[in-house]
Amino acid sequence: MPPVLFLLMLLGALYGLGQAMSWEEKRRLRNQVVEMFDHAYQNYMDHAYPADELMPLTCRGRVRGLEPSRGDIDDALGKFSLTLIDTLDTLVLLNKTTEFEAAVRRVLSDVRLDNDIVVSVFETNIRVLGGLLGGHSMAVMLREGGQHMQWYQDELLHMAKDLGLRLLPAFNTSSGLPYPRVNLKYGVRGPETRTGTETDTCTACAGTIILEFAALSRFTGDPVFEAHARRALDFLWEKRQRNSNLVGTTINIHSGEWVRRDSGVGAGIDSYYEYLLKAYILLGDDQFLQRFNIHYASIMKYISQPPLLLDVHIHKPLLPARTWMDSLLAFFPGLQVLKGDIRPAVETHEMLYQVTKKHNFLPEAFTTDFRVHWAQHPLRPEFAESTYFLYKATGDPYYLEAGRTILDNLNRFARVPCGFAAMKDVRTGSHEDRMDSFFLAEMFKYLFLLFAEVEDLPFDIEDYVFTTEAHLLPLSLSMVPSSSYVQPNRTSEEELDDSNFDWTCPNTRLLFPDPAFPRNLREPIRSAVDKSCPRPAPYREPGMGRPPLRAQDFMANSPEHLELLRRMGVSLIHLKDGRVQLVQHATQAVSAVAAEDGVRFMQEMMELSSQQQKEQLPPRAIQIVSHPFFGRVVLTAGPAQFGTDLSKSSTGVRGFVSVAEPYSGCTEITNAEYVQGQIALLQRGQCMFAEKARNIQKAGAIGGIVIDDNEGSSSDTAPLFQMAGDGRSTDDITLPLLFLFHKEGNILLEALKEYREVEVLLSDKARDRGVDVHETEEDCLTEATTPTSFEPTGQSQTSTVEVDKFVSEEVTPSQEEGSPLGEANSPAEQVSALVKEGSLTETEADLAQPKEDSDKREEPESDTDSSNQSVDELLADWREDLEAFQQMEKDEL
């Protein structure tokens, strides 16, 4: 087993351009952090203790049952002096040893863990159990130093074990996933528990246990805690979607079925990914690293759209699940630093920083054009966390300035006489009477570390790993003899694969040889945020005689049209599969008149899409007919709205394929002698499809195939669409042009690479393959055609329309292809119902649902995506996909 890697220790320092912050200024800011902590902590002790949390506006403690219920938020409160326990290791880090010793004595004398109260398993684990273990780690460190805590006899550890035993009944399920809540006195069974009836839990709730439970097992020598945490992680891993390698947000704890199939890196999933990587760092088990790397590759493929991180559906990962981001994903750049992937960390952090500067704090949720979606800000520390890790990795003083911004905004907008108050609305600056325990546990740790020098720290921070609540667990736990805990069970299919490991960490000096490189990454993102989310300006009522934008005139590549959309509260999102999504937030329009124009535009776009839905052409077929395929490989292709109509041709167009030069086909073809009389292969992008068709037609080609330039795209995971014209007459184009996604296009390119002469048939459907039907069924997967339907959803708070687009081509509404079950309502009826139900504030009509995953294509044996799976596994995955799409009809898009 390789040694435990703590990646921050191996990352080289990189100093960005600009004025480095002076030592005196860093010291001043470090002292300011300590003063702010003192203000928050002392007010908690003076006005709230022994209550769980401080209410800073009314200067009193929040006691559960005595204050109006806030719903699930109150599940973190267990009448166990939550804030004090959560703050223990922060006191030591900030060199407050005397206060720490007093706090430990208070915890031991005052805190009871046997209260008849129902608490969140997740919150109690990360805050209370983590706080006790972090406090124990600090107490042991100080005791071994010989000057402090000499009286300490592992009392905090004994309390931690007591609490761990009280949490264990929650894991008594058939799956091993814990119930979301437990009664500290009675467990989960029986009427007196008032819990145990729940069926669902979030992925993070079940997957954020391993660090605390494994540490408890290693500290105490009792393996039961680590065993239960590993079992829960194993079950989540088994239930991942096998094609996308993503997990959903909510899962049934009994059946393992995904209840919410949206997947991202924010709320509901965030710390599951964090704990896979950190479990490897803390425990040294390669299995955790392998799983993390597999998940991470899928995150970067589907969810990461730098600088954005957008939720997707696990079964259709190219289909966005929502058009906004929540603030909890701000931890992810810090996790990418631990992974060693600095570039996307810089980009996403910069986006978050610019949103912070626009609104003073990160809104609880914000849209893809960086406007407020949910206006609250409960003083979350995730952005400060990523700022610290990026500074640690790069040494760029830019991140010190980001930290200064955090400090200044906290003091200017959140500081109140009795502590720091959460923001109820970042737009108005109004406060909420809450100061969560994580503010003291996390925020001040990361800010202090950001500005502190090595000599300011009472211990070597590199000897510890941070939990998701920033509690400190010693890396020495990985050296505990294996006999004291249960070794993980590895299934035969999960043998360690070296391809899933990055055994060495990149040196940032080699990654960024130019010191200006991080700055160069940041500047385009800063400009994008500035353009998308400017400071509000006074609106001048239209009176210039200019009519509002009409849907039939809209061009996605027109800056003037995009500005008109922005004024109407309509934003445009570029999707990975090449489409454009239009989203309207009426509250973000510059005026009520503009909002009405926006609603009218969206209604017109829906009607236009409905009309084009009726005119949609069915998918076409590209059949490889030459040796050794002989028609057995059929690739599903998208049609064009111009050129030869293959449905009216009884024979189709048959010919050998040749790669056009230039590959984009956007200028005159330079290898016309090879293209003449053949079917030209082209790459998507850089110009309009009609222009590509004209250029290859001029070169003498008899047809064309455009291959997607979006690596990894496939008709299995993205809906097909029609290629539009260029806004002028296309009657001069007489050859057929078809579109292949990247995966299907690669099959054709690999065949050409291996056999040099490849002949294909372009047609409306596959022709006779020249082989016996039974042989065909044995040799390859059969084709399936999925019926189309038009099924908008009505669950969201936004109005959305999705349309196809190309890099610079005209936009056309996309065809929606839904489940084979169909709906009774007609497309027009469904759209009318949605428009009728909508209001000027926010409505939704989503006009682009994906094609069913039951489409299966002929693919050569060299395509190994599914070759390693048995027939039973393929059928099981297919059934899972089918059930998922039936559920997706009800899910929020």
Residues with active-site annotation? 123, 270, 364, 382
Task: To the nearest 10°, report the CA torsion of 148, 150, 151, 156.
Answer: 70
The SS3 assignment for 729 reads: coil
Exposure string of 463-474, with b = 16+ CB inside 10 Å and e = fewer, is ebbbbbbbbbbb
| DSSP 8-state assignment for residue 395 | -
Give 172-195 as a DSSP string. Answer: -SSSSPPPSEEETTTBSSSGGGS-
C-alpha span between 456 and 615 (Å, rounded): 70
Which among 374, 410, 366, 405 is positioned nearest to 533, based on CA atoms? 366
The answer to whether the beta carbons of residues 443 and 384 sit under 8 Å apart is yes
Q: Cα(496)–Cα(255) distance, rounded to whole angstroms?
A: 28
3-class DSSP assignment, residue 420 = strand
List all residues 6 or more positions away from 280 whose beta carbon is below 8 Å from its beta carbon.
4, 5, 286, 288, 289, 292
For residues 315 and 718, is the Cβ–Cβ distance under 8 A? Answer: no
Containing 521, the helix (H) or strand (E) segment is: helix 517-532
Angle at 705 between CA 820 and CA 864, to 5 degrees: 65
In single-letter form, the type of residue at position 466 comes to F
Cα 867 from Cα 353, distance rounded (Å): 45
CA–CA dist 699, 688 (Å, integer): 17
Q: Which of 400, 386, 330 is nearest to 362 (CA)?
A: 330
Q: Mind spelling out the 3-state secondary structure of 32-76?
A: HHHHHHHHHHHHHHHHCCCCCEEECCCCEEECECCECCCHHHHHH
Residues with Cβ within 8 Å of residue 467, at least 6 apart in sequence: 126, 130, 134, 211, 212, 278, 473
Tokens 């990795």 locate to: 393
Q: How far apart are CA 47 and CA 111, in angstroms?
A: 17
Angle between helices 97-110 and 82-93 (to 10 degrees): 160
Amino acid letter at 213? F
